Amino acid sequence: MDISSFVPLFTREAIAAKVAEMGRRIAEDFRDEPLVCVCVLRGAFMFFADLVRAIPKEDLYVDFIRISSYGKSTVSSGHVSLHTDLAFDVEGKNVLVVEDVVDSGRSLRFLLDMLAARKPRRLACAVLVDKHARREVKVDPDYVGFSMDDGFIVGYGLDYAGKMRNLPEIRVPEQELR
């Protein structure tokens, strides 16, 4: 697959508007409380950077975690691995997990269960794209940018075998739109 076979699905303008809206909602929901925002690497890094800038809070902290379930495939392997853990102790803190995509739900469920065991005060999740068709595990993100049934997407941090993360919009293979 190369870039010429992908067409825009969500434009950079639509993404910016959605991220700004999500940032306002999150700021309102955590108005008088400190918040630790956790970026799920690697796919969420662009969304995360834009989202934390859209949350007007002085008491906002950032941390990073890296898990994987895809490898070099376009579908989840079903096995979730933790590669990089948090630097912060989240016990008693408000935690917002920021993820790029939730589809089967396995990775996000793994992460939310792991973090819940660390006894945060409140645990919430923001996802840029919520795919429903392949959901295998119950998970309901608190904040959702876009929803779609299914489809392979790249850009705005999302990749295909490590490539195309740098695209400013989210794209889908043209044949999936037919």
- Show which residues are catalytic: 103
Three-class SS of residue 29?
A: helix
Question: Is residue 76 within 8 Å of residue 103, measured between CB atoms?
Answer: yes
Task: Report DSSP letters for 51-71, one per residue.
Answer: HHHTS--SSEEEEEEEEES-T
What residue spans of 8-156 are helical by DSSP H?
Answer: 12-29, 45-53, 106-116
